[in-house]
Structure 1
Amino acid sequence: MTEVITRAAGRLRRALVRGDDDPSRVGGHAAALAAYAVYTAAWTAAVRRSGRGLPERTEPWDLALTSVAAFRLSRLVSKGAVTRPLRAPFTEYRGPQAAPAEVHEEPRGGASHTVGELVSCPFCLGVWTVTTLTAAGLLWPRATRTVTSALTALAGADTLQLAYSALTEKVAGEE
């Protein structure tokens, strides 16, 4: 395992020297990967310390709840107009998003660029969100199921709002 890590570190150093990518982003991405590894290790340690074992299998209902909840929470944090203050130190506002109550932002330059990419990208943030919800589900299953159920209900309500808006626009257009 040490050999694999050493080779990967060497490749990263060579990529930085060659300039395969913007060096600040490659270094930032490496730091984000390291932070994610530490984050995952901390959750793993917490689960082990709790004495709770892993379930034999993931229940389909929990998988569905976690999927929809992670989608909704990732979008809310990364694109929501009301969560813009959380992203503002790392992103620049570009305007409203095509989706209702969402904004388009770009990462700021410099050292905070990678954080800006992470907090403004629902796909990037989704990895952290799923990790959090999964680990929380191992430690506090009832509370986490309540939270994932609420986020899933919010996603359902959003879908109904969009469907209602589309329907009323269609009806108004036919009059």
Structure 2
Amino acid sequence: MNAVVDTARRQKEEYTGDADRPLGSYLATLAVYGLTTGALALLARRRGASLHSIGPGDLALMTVTTHKMSRLMAKDPVTSPLRAPFTRYAGTGGPAELSEEVRGHGVRHAVGELITCPFCVSQWVATAYAAGMVFAPGATRLAGATMTAVAGSDWLQLVYARLQRSAVG
């Protein structure tokens, strides 16, 4: 066992150099994701849930919902209390979005990186959406339609603001 631990430490040192990268915490995060996904698949199989293919309409709804939920979780001011234990406020990052710096070490840092990165959190959101399609497709589609409408509204707000600026200037 010591040989495995020594090899892991050596690989971490070779990979990170002097940078503080929480590779062990990333591995733990990956393990949680894998175990959660595996447990959901096992539960679906045991319950005899229908694992049908996702059609183009559902895929479009899932895509826009994943985008909107990921940005909402990672950047929205309203969800900042959920990120606060892992981040520090650093200002605004765009229209209705915050910029935050990750703080801490180890698991705290790894979780902070995950929850402030919409690209990173989107995998978890899409997986949750897929599970919702297996266990509660109607409610999942309703939530997806709601988030898709919010995403469409966001774009309209941005276009409207731009048109206002160009009309004034």
RMSD between superposed Cα atoms in Å:
1.9
**Residues 114-159 of structure 1, C-alpha deviation per residue, up to 9 Å, x if partnerless?**
0000010000000000000011111111110000010000000111
AA partner of residue 48 (structure 1): R
What is the match of residue 33 of structure 1?
30
User: How far apart, CA to CA, are the structure 2 residues paired with 1:64 and 1:12?
Assistant: 41
User: Is residue 47–residue 138 contact of structure 1 (8 Å, CA) maintained in 2?
Assistant: yes
Question: Is 2:82 the partner of 1:73?
Answer: no
Structure 1 residue matching 2:15: 3-state secondary structure: coil
| Paired position in structure 2 for 1:105 | 100
Q: TM-score, normalised by structure 1?
A: 0.87
Among candidates 121, 126, 131, match of residue 130 of structure 1: 126
Which is worse superposed, 150-159 or 35-44?
A: 35-44
CA–CA distance in structure 1, aligned partners of residues 127 and 66 of structure 2: 9
Alignment coverage as a number of residue pairs: 163
Which residues of 2 match residues 124-163 of structure 1 at below 5 A? Answer: 124-163=120-159
> CA distance change for structure 1 residues 162 and 53 in 2, over 3 Å: closer, same or farther?
same
- Once the two structures are superposed, residues 22-80 of structure 1 have per-residue CA deviations (whole angstroms, 9 ceiling, x without a partner) of 4651111111111111111121122112211311x321000000000000000001000
Report which structure shows greater RCO (CA 8 Å, sep ≥6): 2
2:88 aligns with 92
**Structure 1: gaps spanning 5 or more residues:** 1-7
What amino acid sits opposite 1:166 in the alignment? R
